[in-house]
Amino acid sequence: MGSREELIQRSIPFLREVKDMTPGAEMERWLNETYGENSALYQDLARLIKIGVEEGWAANQEVDGPNYRRSRILEPTPETFQFSITAVYMNSADPRRFKDEDDHDVLRGQYHGHPYGELNLVVPLNEGAELKGLQGWQGPGWTAPDPGSRHYPEVRGGAVIALFYLPAGRISYDFKAPSDR
């Protein structure tokens, strides 16, 4: 079995467990307590998605240059309880970065919405790298944006891979972004 198939197969028991939960702050806390960075699930998925980026089957399509890439690994299927699996690679070392309120270099991605929410495994590739979730900055662990939420993905502190599971594969880029930074 290749690493892509291994990642999909490793995801299925997890998706079976969470298929009837609703993404949001409560679920995010549960994910980080139950499947945080020291858990076998986190370690396995992080290892496999790093391999996927190295082998070129994950986060291999440039969105806006080599430091902001993504790819759909699997469309929703009955086997994955209608969750899709996607990977995004973002690196705040990108020339288009800006300084945040704490003077960190931040790379901002495309504004988007989550009609049914999202389960997002955050895998830093650099010590201290973080992804901004709706509950704040997240290093190794999980974010779980609520159904109906909208945001810019942002990273600081280096490179992050986000492995995310979308209920029904739903994500929308059809929203007008707020004009403020």
User: How many angstroms separate the CA atoms of 131 and 154, rounded?
Assistant: 6
CB 151 within 8 A of CB 134: yes
What average pLDDT score do residues 49-71 get? Answer: 96
pLDDT in the model for residue 104: 85
Q: Is the pLDDT of residue 8 over 90?
A: yes
- The average confidence (pLDDT) of the chain is 94
pLDDT at 86: 97
What's the whole-model pTM score? Answer: 0.93
In three-state secondary structure terms, 25 is helix
